[in-house]
Amino acid sequence: AIPARGGPSTLTFQELRQGLSQNHQVAEGYEVQMVIRWGDPVLEGAPPYDPRNLTAEGQAKQFGYNCDYLDYFPLPAGSRNSEHGLICVNHEYTNTNLMFAGIGEGRAARGRTTREQAAVEIAAHGMSVVEVRKENGTWRSVPAGRLNRRITMETPMRIGGPAAGHERMRTNADPTGTRVLGTLNNCAGGNTPWGTVITAEENFNQYFGGDAAESGPQAAAYRRYGIAKDATYAWGRHFDRFNLDKEPNEPNRFGWIVEYDPYDPESVPVKRTALGRFKHEGATHAISADGRVAFYSGDDERFDYLYKFVTARPWNPNDRAANRDLLDDGTLYVAKFEERGVMRWLPLVHGQGPLTEANGFRSQADVLIETRRAADLVGATPMDRPEDVETNPVNGRVYVMLTNNSRRTAQQVGPANPRANNVHGHVVEVIPPGAGTDRVDHAATEARWEIFLMAGKPGVDSGARYHRATSDNGWLSCPDNCAFDSKGRIWISTDGAPENAGIADGLWGADTSGYGRALTRLFFQAPSGAEVCGPRFTPDDRTVFLAIQHPGEDPGSTFERPSTRWPDFKDGEPPRPSVIAVVKRDGGEIGS
Ligand code: FEO
Ligand code: CA
Ligand code: CA
Ligand code: CA
């Protein structure tokens, strides 16, 4: 039986029953509202959505594909308005098989696009900034809102920080190494205390290919990032800059954190190289007691690392412009987890330890362009795919989603990654000095750590561990994104649960302290094939926005015969990645 109330949990909604479904499911008493779908208008002049007549020009004015990172910035700027704001959304990648008729199934479809289709995909990547409003209890997007913006793979950007201008950043189109078009595979993200977005370039490798991946002078460096001769996407056949044999340095200009100002649609986004180059899942900030700002970021690959960047200077709360280039100067650290709940942050600074010319690092730019190799050399702890990393505003602890790692062997287990064949993943809590007080030291080079939960089904999957009152529906698999409500409760969304655990991906809430600590409860289930991204609460906790990414990403799914036609369920039409708002029917706080 499912208890109507939460037992020891402060989350008292009626828990969902786990299952798989073509549609989404939400706990009783809550309502799902559609905010914006792939193809909906963002900018003036956007054509109506027509999946049989996609054009690059139209797509560049419409909401992009596969929404991941999702943030909410109140309007006016600096307010806590929970009924009018901007949503900022990443468009990570394209499910080519579901976008285009007649192209076939699976990832292989990405290698089959024509030049025109590839141009549509290029315009479907990037981000959207969209004005949203809640009127009479219902959220809507504002087409052609004054601050609406599309950023695509062709939007001009600046390169900032120590790697800007480095010879390995130069291309034929940009001999200065300081200007780049667009951003790729932006997965999760975060924001800054001064009200800008930071967005993370993740699996950028799959867009670049060429013989140079095997025989070129940068072959070893390409390999460490998974860049191969045969790219997943066909873009390199149509556009030279994705072809390593023509532009060997172009991939060095991806894999960064990008900062942009959502309140200024004319502003030029900046790639902040000081934060390192890897498959950034996201980056989220925490303000340290002395006013410096830490940014935590995972490198989502099996056996890759957890990082943090600490700004050299405190941020200035009184002068927004003074923070403009704060992210260009600071120290990047990588995590080493030790026994007995102790961990260290190891600096990646040129000239220190092994990061010298003898190992091929002639400057900090070299350290940053090859961040992964630098981290290998200093002895960082290989993790089980670090995804979202986020700080709980109430207890100051930092939560690391480790989504899974089926390749970890019994010989490779360690204190913070204790399970071999870790198909369900786990969540680690990093506890900086001062956590639980109002002076948390996020700049410190040591911290304590604990395991918050080990995912999988309790009593069935070896090593699964939660609160002992977790129900048959409350366990989860493959934690990916997380968020905190203003009470400090964690909300964990998953990616990969259908393949790894036979249950739908979804959103689970749990207390982080008190009697209900780690008692996860199932609140929302994704439609078939989708993962749940965001999540993002409004300041009043009365709305949680969710990005429903890759609906229909199931084996055998095609444009003609998708596994779901969510959310429109129109005959003959493919599914559409979309942002939804979940509200309580009585207007109350989420989870109350
Ligand atoms: Fe794009 Fe690591 O998920
Ligand atoms: Ca993710
Ligand atoms: Ca998050
Ligand atoms: Ca994922």
Residue 591 belongs to a domain = no
Cβ within 8 Å of residue 538, ≥6 positions away: 72, 82, 83, 85, 544, 545
Residue 445 belongs to a domain = yes
Give the pLDDT confidence of 509-550 residue by residue, as tens digits.
999 999 999 999 999 999 999 999 999 999 999 999 999 999
Segment 541-560 shows an average pLDDT of: 98
Ligand 3 centroid – CA 507 distance (Å): 12
Number of domains comprising the chain: 1
Segment 116-137 shows an average pLDDT of: 98
pLDDT for position 1: 41
Residue 520 belongs to a domain = yes
Residue 193 — pLDDT band, cuts 50, 70, 90? very high
Residue 433 belongs to a domain = yes
Give the pLDDT confidence of 13-55 residue by residue, as tens digits.
999 999 999 999 999 999 999 999 999 999 999 999 999 999 9
Residue 332 belongs to a domain = yes
Given a cut of 70, whether residue 478 has pLDDT beyond it is: yes
Cβ within 8 Å of residue 129, ≥6 positions away: 86, 87, 88, 89, 147, 148, 149, 150, 151, 262, 265
pLDDT for position 245: 98
pLDDT for position 25: 98
Give the pLDDT confidence of 146-169 residue by residue, as tens digits.
999 999 999 999 999 999 999 999
pLDDT for position 7: 84
Ligand 4 centroid – CA 59 distance (Å): 25
Q: Tokens for 321, please give them.
A: 């412009």
CATH of the domain at 410: 2.120.10.30
pLDDT for position 555: 96
pLDDT for position 592: 83
**One-letter identity of residue 7:** G
Segment 398-420 shows an average pLDDT of: 98
Q: Tokens for 82, please give them.
A: 């929970």
Ligand 1 centroid – CA 202 distance (Å): 7
Residue 586, Cβ density class (10 Å: 0-12 exposed, 13-18 middle, ≥19 buried): exposed
Given a cut of 60, whether residue 3 has pLDDT beyond it is: no
Ligand 1 contacts (CB < 6 A) are 92, 187, 202, 281, 300, 387
Cβ distance 235 to 290 under 8 Å?
Answer: no
Q: Which domain holds residue 545?
A: 25-202+255-584
Residue 9 belongs to a domain = no
Distance CA 521, CA 510 (A): 6
pLDDT for position 132: 98
pLDDT for position 2: 47
Distance CA 90, CA 515 (A): 36
Residue 234 belongs to a domain = no
pTM over 0.80: yes
Distance CA 482, CA 512 (A): 12
Residue 207 belongs to a domain = no
Ligand 2 centroid – CA 542 distance (Å): 24
Residue ID of nearest Cα to ligand 1 atom 1: 187
In this structure, which residues have their CB less than 5 angstroms from ion ligand 4? 480, 495
In this structure, which residues have their CB less than 5 angstroms from ion ligand 2? 187, 387, 480
Residue 71 — pLDDT band, cuts 50, 70, 90? very high
Given a cut of 80, whether residue 433 has pLDDT beyond it is: yes
